[in-house]
Structure 1
Amino acid sequence: MRFGVNYTPSRGWFHHWLDFDLDDVRADLDSIAALGLDHIRVFPLWPVFQPNRTLIRPRAVAQLVSLVDAAGERGLDVAVDGLQGHLSSFDFVPSWTTTWHRRNMFTDPEVVAAQEEYVTVLAGALADRPHFLGMTVGNETNQFSGDPHPDPDRIAPEEAERWLQRMLDACEKAAPGRSHLHASYDAAWYDGTHPFTPAHSARLGAMTAVHSWVFNGTAQRHGPRGTATEHHAAYLVELSKAWAEDPARPVWLQEVGAPAPHIAPERAAAFTEATVTNALDCPGLWGITWWCSHDVDRSLADFPELEYGLGLLTNDRRPKPAGETFARLAREHRAAGAAASPRSTALVVEAGEVAGAPLRAVCAPGGEFFEAWMRVAARGRGPACVLSQLAGDARHLAARGITEVLTVAQVQ
């Protein structure tokens, strides 16, 4: 089990790439390492690193490598996201894909070739660094592919899969054997019209990434202390396994945080404890990476209010109660050394045909599958999740340690 944090620089947020200061980065990393965490996830800004389709800035790449080296000196492994893409309500896409040069970022041949070259350069620059974990194609790049994005690059699921596979193949070729993956926000699990699907998340790349945010209707419907709110991360981890072809495929809880006002600041530590404890009860969990390391400096304008206070550390690098809680839970789990036992009871997911999952809205907050899963969780332990197409497959069930299968109708 890995415990880490998504690195948000305390000085200048992700705009720090424009005025990169390695001493500031080192101080940030010292404060992260002091919590006892073992890895970070970092975010190069795509238009800063590749401002022209045929220009990938060598100095920016060298700065990324120096950040990874500094993290390694502090015992922190590093996962790197490529196409940023989207961060904290802001889009960061290069000028050569917008306005006068408007073209689809997933299907335009020149854009896709340039993206392939970009992730190849980043992965290749880090391939010999022992503390480099691998590449994530980008941060929630699926949000560019449909509603509610104000200017989406619309694609079909088949086009999404081709794009993902091409990016993943480029990462693997440049840095063989590392854990290369991709990450979607929860429309991939909850919206039957969305072109990025559960099967994409659970079958492409080295592991499955889930991003758990309870402002998606969960906290609004169930409240800050509700079972669904405190189990949402564990639910997504278990839900993702329904589409995995490999029963042993690891799942990375790559983003999870305590967003105000849905989770009041004074309750952030309790939410952190409940969320992490419930997630640690999921077998096959690779790690938990909290969002985020440091609060956003309030001198920076126009962020949604919830974004300013999500850090485990303050903007001046002091641990917050949630940070102290996360650090304690990491210490306790390492000391215990116990692995989660299989979930022997499974709830059947009726999401339609497997590849597209057109009925996956049943898995969203308020959906019949979601609410049934949470009713079971309220009584003790949430169930495993199994697709209806596999609910009668004895070999599949045995491989996952499932001995009892329930339908939604059976859960009162």
Structure 2
Amino acid sequence: MNYVPSGNWWFSWLEWDPASVLDDLRAVSGLGMDHVRVQLLWPVFQPDPAVVNRTALRRLVELMDLADHPDVRLDVSVSVLDGWLSGFTFLPAWLGDRCMITDEDVVRAELLLFDAVADYVGGHPRFLGLDLGNELSVPNGRVAPAAGDRWAARLLDHCEAIAPGRLHVNGVDHQPWFEGRTFSPAGAAAHGGASVLHCYPHWTGAIERYGRDGTGVLHLGEYMAELAEAYAERPGRPKWLQEFGASPVERPAETIPDWAETFVRNTLTSRGVWGCTWWGSHDVDRRYSAFVEYEYDLGLLTVDNEVKPTGARLARLVEELRTDPVRPVDRHVGLVLPAGRGKGLEAADRFFSLVDEGVRPALVLSEHVDDAPRLAARGIRELITD
């Protein structure tokens, strides 16, 4: 799960309550989960380009220690440059009107923060890896994809140098995959240890396009995983469904457990899925008044650590999948994505219609249709071009 602290949201770094955090992590572990993703608010951890907040870093270490508690045992992915989170922009004031991706002075400051985080937690037994930041295409929409890709490659290479062998990723949302915003799909499928997928029927527009229980909603994660596979240079590159979830804003609450289980099962039919990470662990406390309504009820747990119906359903699913995992589908039919098409979900319509016809296709880029070794390596025997 993406950890959302029950007491103080991610303002927790300023209002630190380790007892509450331990209770939360116990509850997360109690659902059978094995990892959490945590968010560093960038201006809290780096109040000045030359200064890293050591108190915040010590609290991060304490969170890691709590995750290693005998009652918890959760691995922790650390998302670092969080300038966008849950509908709020958290860019540091010192950034001004400079670009965090193209301004060299800013990039040097970012590397300083990554060095400090790795120095404090890089060797921790519960440290899973570094995530560059949460959905960075949102506050950097004007950055050209070529520049974004260079930046991501540089920082992820640096992450590997300072914390070798861990799972370092760029936590992109759907826009790079669908629109090439800030980062290209090829870049998202090449840099770091896994291709990251944020698959929300609400935010992608799938629920509006296909209906609440349409194929394009139930199989959205599968489609995005296959899109990542199409762009990957090698078959089976790990794919991390890093964020997915549903709110009562978009569908009746009683329908969310069925959707969640079906969504996970369908996504796991794609080869190479590393893991699935629900957003989020806990609801947002309604004493905070400024979040958009969508954000408040996304948790599998209440702010009092009571298990919600979707949490109970996914806990049973986790237990089942550990003994009877979903087998990836052999995708012998490849659906070709024509050059110049693929904006938004337009290119997904044919994929979902094939699923309705009983075919679970792979996706193939138009430039790869004559690459027989690539197609053979993916087990593709037939191409559909319409």
Please name the residue that 2:192 is paired with.
205
Residue 209 of structure 2 is aligned to residue 221 of structure 1: yes
| Amino acid paired to 1:373 | F
Q: Distance in 1 between matches of 2:164 and 2:140?
A: 29
| Amino acid paired to 1:250 | P
Q: Distance in 2 between matches of 1:54 and 1:45?
A: 16
Please name the residue that 1:373 is paired with.
351
Q: How many residues align?
A: 383
Displacement of 1:338 = 5.2
Contact kept, 8 Å, 2:269 with 2:326, in 1: the verdict is no
Q: Distance in 2 between matches of 1:16 and 1:40?
A: 16
CA pair 379-72 structure 1, distance change in 2 beyond 3 A: farther
Contact kept, 8 Å, 1:126 with 1:175, in 2: the verdict is no
Q: 2:2 aligns with which of 2, 6, 9?
A: 6
Q: Distance in 2 between matches of 1:380 and 1:289?
A: 28
Gaps of 5+ in 2: none
Contact kept, 8 Å, 2:242 with 2:277, in 1: the verdict is yes
Deviations 1:85-121 (A, max 9, x none): 21110011111012xxx21111112111101111121
Displacement of 1:259 = 2.6
Please name the residue that 1:360 is paired with.
342
Secondary structure of 1:128's counterpart equals: coil
Please name the residue that 1:15 is paired with.
11
Residue pairs, 1:377-388, within 5 angstroms = 377-388=355-366
With the length of structure 1 as denominator, give the TM-score of the two structures. 0.90
Q: 1:401 aligns with which of 355, 376, 379?
A: 379
Please name the residue that 1:327 is paired with.
315
Contact kept, 8 Å, 2:89 with 2:139, in 1: the verdict is no
Deviations 1:135-188 (A, max 9, x none): 110000111222xxxxxxx32222112211221122111111111110211111
Q: CA RMSD in A?
A: 1.3
Please name the residue that 2:91 is paired with.
93
| Amino acid paired to 2:186 | A
Displacement of 1:191 = 1.7
Q: Distance in 2 between matches of 1:398 and 1:124?
A: 44
| Amino acid paired to 1:371 | D
With the length of structure 2 as denominator, give the TM-score of the two structures. 0.96
| Amino acid paired to 2:196 | A
Please name the residue that 1:138 is paired with.
133
Please name the residue that 1:317 is paired with.
305
| Amino acid paired to 2:139 | F
Q: Distance in 2 between matches of 1:131 and 1:180?
A: 14
Once the two structures are aligned, what percentage of the paired residues are identical? 41
Displacement of 1:258 = 0.8
Deviations 1:305-359 (A, max 9, x none): 110000011111111111111111111111114542432211111234xxxxxx4
Q: 1:248 aligns with which of 236, 241, 245?
A: 236
Residue 275 of structure 2 is aligned to residue 297 of structure 1: no
Please name the residue that 2:80 is paired with.
82
Secondary structure of 2:231's counterpart equals: coil
Residue 90 of structure 2 is aligned to residue 108 of structure 1: no
Displacement of 1:381 = 4.7
Gaps of 5+ in 1: 147-153, 353-358
Secondary structure of 2:187's counterpart equals: helix
Displacement of 1:251 = 0.3
Contact kept, 8 Å, 1:263 with 1:271, in 2: the verdict is no
| Amino acid paired to 1:269 | P
